[in-house]
Amino acid sequence: AVEPGDNVLEVGTGLGTYAFFAAEAGAGHVWAVDRDPVIHAAAMVSKANGLHDRITFLRSEVSEIELPERADLVVFEDYAIQLFNDVTWRLMRDVLEKHGRPGGRVFPGTARLNLGLAAGAEPEAILGLGGGGRLTAFGLDWSCIRPYLANAPRHAWISSDALVGRPFVGPELALDSSPTCEQLGLNAEWTLDRDVTVHALVLWFDLLLGAQSWYENAPGKAHSVWGQTLLPVFPPLEVPAGGCMQASVRPESLPDGAPGWLSWSAECGAEARRGHEFAAEPLSLEDLYGDTLV
């Protein structure tokens, strides 16, 4: 990814690993930015390894820095669980506009989204929706909050055994520009070879590190940093052997184009399930409208 003489900007450097690699690969200069005090340890490691003359460590929000030159390569890996949320989308948009050289590059430069189906005891336990009966715990009845839970995405690391059918692999996304919400959406279809009760859609992303070497966050990948997003299908959807199931996931576009609330659907024949992240928020009318409520 690094070409000789490149100016490199690493956003969220942490202990500086990528900054060190960039300097050793021949970068002209590296600016490594992090808002947390760990950056002081990174600077110590840089000096101990004779790299301090090629790396400038900046403890700051990246939005507040000024660089003497634009970057040929921007390094960023602090993506959200679903790849982009409004924060990461705006951060990368602003970084590339302010600090990236026209025609510059990003590392990792490519991502892909994946969508799978989860069934069985494992996703059922993670979702905690309790089938159609009462939700009880500690001697209390929690059933009234089930509608919130049924619309709340869960961050999880599930096993590959929980998947049914082959995951749908979305198109590759270039990360050197801001993807649209349409590009961040997926539409998938499965024909299953056995009767299945689907409890959740499973969303994850992979990053291309180079030469078709993908960092995968698929279920069953024990090393995965990000894991997966489980999207409840409630009530669980019965899909007969040979039946066709269709599913979609898409973030709603905010006014500036950033991805907002996730919405999803799952359908088989006449049966359909829908979920929306906003419906997981226990808001009153006063929360929504404040002083404008009449």
User: Based on the domain organization, do 182 and 134 belong to the same domain?
Assistant: yes
**228 φ/ψ angles, rounded to the nearest 5 degrees:** -130, 165
* Integer Cα distance of 279 and 282 in angstroms: 8
Which pTM value belongs to this model? 0.93
Quick one: 134 and 56 in the same domain?
A: no
Amino acid at 153: P
Dihedral angle over CA of 115, 118, 122, 127, nearest 10: 80
The verdict on residue 220 lying in a domain is: yes
Per-residue pLDDT 10s for the chain (294 aa) are 899 999 999 999 999 999 999 999 999 999 999 999 999 999 999 999 999 999 999 999 999 999 999 999 999 999 999 999 999 999 999 999 999 999 999 999 999 999 999 999 999 999 999 877 888 889 999 999 999 999 999 999 999 999 999 999 999 999 999 999 999 999 999 999 999 999 999 999 999 998 889 999 999 997 889 999 999 999 999 999 999 999 999 999 999 999 999 999 999 999 999 999 999 999 877 877 776 655
Asked which of 78, 107, 136 is the last residue of a domain, the reply is 107
State residue 37's pLDDT score: 97
Q: What angle do CA 116, 122, 125 make, to 5 degrees?
A: 120
Cα–Cα distance for residue pair 167/160, rounded to 1 Å = 11
In the prediction, which pLDDT does 60 show? 95
Are residues 125 and 91 part of one domain? Answer: no
Q: Are residues 124 and 269 in the same domain?
A: yes
Tell me if 111 sits within 8 A of 208, measured CB to CB: yes
Q: Looking at the structure, tell me whether residues 170 and 220 fall in a common domain.
A: yes
Cβ contacts of 181-185, under 8 Å, gap ≥ 24: 181/250, 181/251, 181/252, 181/253, 181/257, 181/259, 182/250, 184/83, 184/84, 184/113, 184/250, 184/251, 184/259, 185/248, 185/249, 185/250, 185/251
The packing angle between helices 38-48 and 17-24, to 10°, is: 30
Report the greatest alpha carbon distance in the chain.
66
Per-residue pLDDT, 289:
76
The DSSP call for residue 48 is H
Tell me what pLDDT residue 109 has: 96
User: Which residues lie below 8 Å from residue 126, measured CB to CB, with a gap of 6+?
Assistant: 154, 156, 158, 200, 230
In a domain, 222, yes or no: yes
We report the CATH number of the domain holding residue 186 as: 2.70.160.11
Number of domains in the chain: 2
In a domain, 287, yes or no: no
Are 97 and 243 part of one and the same domain?
Answer: no
What pLDDT sits at residue 210?
86
For residue 86, give Cα distances in angstroms to 101, 117, 146: 23, 26, 27
Of 90, 107, 124, the position where a domain reaches its end is 107
Q: For residue 290, is it within any domain?
A: no
- Non-local (6+) Cβ contacts of 191 within 8 A are 242, 243, 244, 245
For residue 183, what pLDDT is reported? 97
> Are 44 and 61 in the same domain?
yes
Residue 292 structure tokens: 């404008």
**CATH number of the domain to which 56 belongs:** 3.40.50.150
Count Cα atoms within 13 angstroms, Cβ side, for 71.
Answer: 27
Domain end residue (candidates: 45, 72, 107): 107
* pLDDT for residue 187: 98
- Angle, CA of 146, 247 and 277, to the nearest 5°: 40
Host domain of residue 200: 110-280
And the tokens for 179? 């993807």
Identify the bridge partners of residue 169 per DSSP, sorted by sequence position: 114
**CA distances, 56 to each of 23, 29, 129, 141 (Å):** 11, 8, 50, 56
pLDDT at residue 280 in the model:
96
Give residue 291's pLDDT.
65
pLDDT at 133: 82
**Which stretches within the chain are classed as H helix?**
17-24, 38-48, 86-99, 121-127, 146-149, 285-289
